[in-house]
Structure 1
Amino acid sequence: MARAGLTAERITRAAADLADEVGFDNVTVSALARHFGVKDASLYSHVKNLRDLRTRVAVLAAGEMVDLIAAAVAGRSGKDALAAFAGAYRSYALRHPGRYAATQSKVDLAQVADLAPFLRTGELTYGMLRAYDLAEPDLTDAVRLLRSTFHGYTSLEAAGGFQHSRDVDASWDQAIEALHVLLTHWPRASKEER
């Protein structure tokens, strides 16, 4: 592949593809250089270092994931929005394991040029929860519950952690139903906690 064709975006997309193949933690500048048929140094004119490359992959993946979720929840509210949000989240995590891992990595937001995907993710999540009429700190607690539930479930599913004969999709649907019931009957924080 010609060096002239290298750009930060092209390198980032190749790194995201590689992450899906070999795992996000296994993405290296050397592996990408081999992919492009160039020396490692050729990539450093486009990305600063491995940390910069991984941050770029996290931003790319966050953007892809939030676009998928936004399309799924558009025009929906309440339980329908919750199920659509959760389904899009799960679908992305299972289809793109390396990219998904990048979205879960710690990113120094001060080093990120484009914060839009991260901000949009927060806006979508809080927007989806509006139907449940939660105020702070309950809203933050609910967001954390959803994220940990979706992440835990998809991580276990991807690792083959569900060995019971019960259909995994049926369990997922039941989990979403349980989350809806919980959000509808959320135990409100006391006035001292607010």
Structure 2
Amino acid sequence: MKIYLKYDINVIFKKTLEEQLDKIGINYTINGLGEVEFMEAISVDKITQLASLLSIYGIKIINDHKSEVIQRIKDAITEMVINSSIDNSCKVSTYLAEKLGYSYTYLSSLFSEGTYTSIENFVILKRIDRAKTLILEDKLTLTEISYNLGYSSVAHLSYQFKKTTGLTPTVFQKIIKQRKETAKAQ
């Protein structure tokens, strides 16, 4: 027998972080996907202990400025793609510059240097990942999905989806439906 699970990695991350921070008694506020603010000074021993507890889950504390900014770029893009309340007509460059307080030229250069890909490619990958999730949920049409993700048309979404995954969104939907039906039959 098999079961299939659906999960939200952001919820898992936040819950894991909260549990580990609570375990060592640190007073904190979680400000975003990857940012924690301590409400009082924290000893090096507590930071080391936290780093050890989080490493079990593949979570690392970032210690250098470049890596921190790159992670903040990734988190901001993820938030932008997932959060439908953010204006889809807003350009990524404007959104990142305003959210992070740096020029887009600086952010783009730093991101490319640190990840060996462009911000634009990362945005496309995140949008396609989100499109797959929305297709799996089977609540929205492709037109609604393309609109929610800021695409100008279903054709544009389909082009990028196929270029990234090798499948059109429609073929992806059919494969998922066939797998679900096969799983039910077993």
Q: Is the TM-score greater than 0.5?
A: no
Structure with more strand by fraction:
2
TM-score, scaled to structure 2: 0.38
Structure with more helix by fraction:
1
TM-score, scaled to structure 1: 0.37
Answer 1 or 2: higher relative contact order, Cα 8 Å, separation at least 6.
Answer: 1
